[in-house]
């Protein structure tokens, strides 16, 4: 699948993560009042994601080992309404640049699509969107190539703010980060009660997301509070706490075999 031309048109999106205590998070939020406003679309919401991985845990290992070029496959939903769609996402990192390829999918299609069945015409909410169909085919192609299956669910409460100016900056505070094994029927993740375990040592994950330029006020924020950037990934932290007995014991030190994978015209 040649998506090189589309990849070149994607803006340079960056993410920076920091771990905060609740007290630090309150101080940072107070400081942000001069520069941001609550996200008008939805200032606070619950995120529930289903992560997929290969039998050899290639996607886990690429992140745990800090590989510069890597990707994740996940299905994300924002509420428990069975009539609301979910989002199939390929999240790619090339160096420090983030690209996300997302498709809006009917929940009735979650089971077949996570089993790597080719999407039918009724899978997408907007069946006429060539971009969304291409994104979903990319998800399917990568999933089949690595033989992925549902592995871990992650849930957290997100508080979101956006820049009060015209610049495309978004900051988020993630709290109550929890995980659970993937259900046998993935489509039930957003409709059936589950037993969630809190991640240890993660009171608040603070993220700054910006496009192309790093605003001066963001730099001042980081300096003022002496924030230390982290590469923490919620999926990796969840797998680690759940215990590698559920996975390949050698996953953390194994080579991931992502080298040579072509994604959107780039060879990782």
pLDDT tens per residue across span 239-258: 999 875 454 433 333 334 44
CA dihedral 80, 81, 83, 84 (to 10 degrees): -70
Q: Which residues contact 127 (CB under 8 A, 6 or more apart)?
A: 121, 133
Cα 39 to Cα 215: distance, rounded to the nearest angstrom: 18
pLDDT band of residue 10 (cuts 50, 70, 90) is very low
pTM to 2 decimal places: 0.87
Provide the pLDDT for residue 252: 38
State the average pLDDT over residues 156-160.
Answer: 97
Tokens of 93: 């990192």
Provide the pLDDT for residue 166: 85
Measure Cα distances from 209 to 14, 15, 95, 170, 230 in Å: 6, 5, 15, 5, 14
pLDDT over 60 at 265, yes or no:
no
229: left (phi over 0), alpha (psi -120 to 50) or beta: beta
User: Which of the pair, 264 or 90, is modelled with greater confidence?
Assistant: 90
pLDDT over 90 at 261, yes or no:
no
CA dihedral 235, 240, 245, 247 (to 10 degrees): 30
Identify the CATH homologous superfamily for domain 14-244: VTC, catalytic tunnel domain (3.20.100.30)
Domain boundaries, the chain: 14-244
State the average pLDDT over residues 72-95.
Answer: 91
Q: How many other CB atoms are there within 10 angstroms of residue 72's CB atom?
A: 22
- What is residue 108's DSSP assignment? G
pLDDT over 70 at 234, yes or no:
yes
Decide if 63 contacts 70 (C-beta within 8 A).
yes
Cα 177 to Cα 234: distance, rounded to the nearest angstrom: 8
Provide the pLDDT for residue 246: 54
Provide the pLDDT for residue 255: 37
Decide if 48 contacts 153 (C-beta within 8 A).
yes
* H or E element at residue 238: helix 234-242
State the average pLDDT over residues 45-57.
Answer: 95
């Amino acid at each position: 699948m040649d998506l090189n031309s589309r990849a070149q048109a994607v803006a340079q999106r960056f993410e920076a993560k920091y771990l905060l205590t609740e007290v630090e998070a309150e101080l940072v939020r107070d400081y942000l009042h001069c520069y941001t406003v609550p996200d008008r679309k939805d200032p606070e919401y619950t995120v529930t994601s289903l992560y997929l991985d290969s039998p050899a845990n290639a996607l886990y290992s690429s992140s745990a080992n800090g590989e510069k070029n890597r990707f994740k496959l996940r299905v994300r939903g924002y509420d428990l309404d069975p009539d609301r769609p979910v989002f199939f996402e390929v999240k790619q990192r090339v160096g420090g640049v983030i690209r996300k390829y997302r498709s809006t999918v009917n929940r009735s299609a979650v089971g077949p699509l996570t089993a790597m069945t080719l999407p039918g015409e009724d899978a997408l909410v907007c069946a006429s969107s060539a971009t969304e169909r291409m994104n979903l085919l990319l998800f399917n192609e990568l999933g089949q190539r690595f033989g992925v299956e549902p592995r871990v669910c992650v849930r957290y409460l997100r508080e979101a703010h956006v820049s009060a100016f015209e610049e495309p900056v978004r900051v988020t505070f993630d709290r109550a980060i929890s995980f659970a094994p993937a259900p046998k029927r993935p489509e039930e993740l957003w409709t059936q009660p589950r037993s969630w375990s809190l991640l240890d040592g993660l009171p608040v994950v603070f993220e700054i997301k910006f496009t192309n330029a790093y605003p001066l006020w963001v730099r001042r924020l980081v300096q003022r509070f002496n924030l230390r950037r982290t590469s923490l990934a919620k999926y990796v932290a969840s797998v680690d706490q759940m215990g590698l007995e559920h996975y390949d014991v050698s996953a953390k030190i194994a080579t991931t075999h992502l080298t040579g994978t072509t994604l959107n015209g780039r060879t990782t």
